[in-house]
Amino acid sequence: MNKIINLSVKSEENNQRVDVFISKKENLISRTRIKNLILKNKLKLNNRVIVNPSKKVSTGDKLVLEIPEPKKTSLKPYDFKLDIIYEDENLLIINKPAGIIMHPGAGNYDKTIVNALMHYCGGNLSNIGDELRPGIIHRIDKDTSGLIVIAKNNATHENLSTQFNKHTITRVYQLLVWGKLRPQSGCIKTLIKRSSKNRQLMEASQFKGKIAVTNYKTLEVFENEKIPTLSLVECRLETGRTHQIRVHMSYKGNNILGDKKYRKKFKKFKNIDADLERTILKLNRQFLHAKTLGFTHPVNGKVIEFSSFLPQELENILKRLRKLNK
């Protein structure tokens, strides 16, 4: 059965965005979900359907929000061994390998992390979001590895979604980029929008898009006559925009090693170590790993943090670089 929420706007609540107003009143529902419900014609303002989440409310306005009953998924389970770092009755922490996408989409409907979760968890996943994404609160790219949190129930999903929306989640990535970042540590703050040249890509902008903030620091620099200049970098996200780190590194002119979408063309180096060159050319993913994930547990309120090691294919590159850099 659908749930109906009735709200009235008081004088002190005047002139707020309607999605912000509702999220403050109903703090168990994430603002992202409220936006999606509005876009799906589930909100009436003074008996008229509205589809603009940014519309401002006025004193005395009457709102009726309809929350549909969650749909049961018909996704096909996929027998894929998940690398589970932590699990309790409310959530899972998974160390995702590169090469597998998060959820079904065009061209791949049955060999994804979601399908693997269906095999492992059965029906014990949150189901308040997209019916093709049960349990999914956030995503990392197909060719990125690292930690993700999965919600087993709707209350956990809402709580963690709110933490992501408030930017209180700790997310730290390690990456290897071409060249040296200048300065070697700092903060990149731009807007990010869909590329006007290629709709599959994103791009940094100073005038249009969503705010994106990446804090970075250089951990190591590799540079000599047998090594093209490369830097091992740590990025700490304040926001989580699509392709954010990849876009920001490209914006700085320091593309991520192995990134096929935001890449500088790999050129031949005269004296590069042959083994290193072969290893780089053989890499079939980007050197980007979601290393650390931390948040407040939705049930017990404790702050918890998880870390993972670099996958072997990335560690092998670092070992070779460190040996040559001596």
The residues assigned a catalytic role are 141
170 φ/ψ angles, rounded to the nearest 5 degrees: -85, 120
The first and second tokens of residue 15, run together, are 């002139």
Query: Is residue 174 within 8 Å of residue 309, measured between CB atoms?
Result: no
The first and second tokens of residue 162, run together, are 């709110």
Pairing of β 62-67 and β 202-205: unpaired
Q: Which residue has the tokens 């998880």?
A: 306
* CA neighbor of 173 nearest in space, from 145, 150, 192: 145
Q: E strands of the chain, at which residues? A: 3-8, 43-45, 48-49, 62-67, 84-87, 91-96, 145-151, 170-178, 185-194, 202-205, 210-224, 227-237, 288-296, 303-307
Supply the DSSP symbol for 195.
Answer: -
For the chain, percent helix, then strand, then coil, each to nearest 5? 20, 30, 45
Q: What angle do CA 22, 24, 26 make, to 5 degrees?
A: 65
66 φ/ψ angles, rounded to the nearest 5 degrees: -100, 125
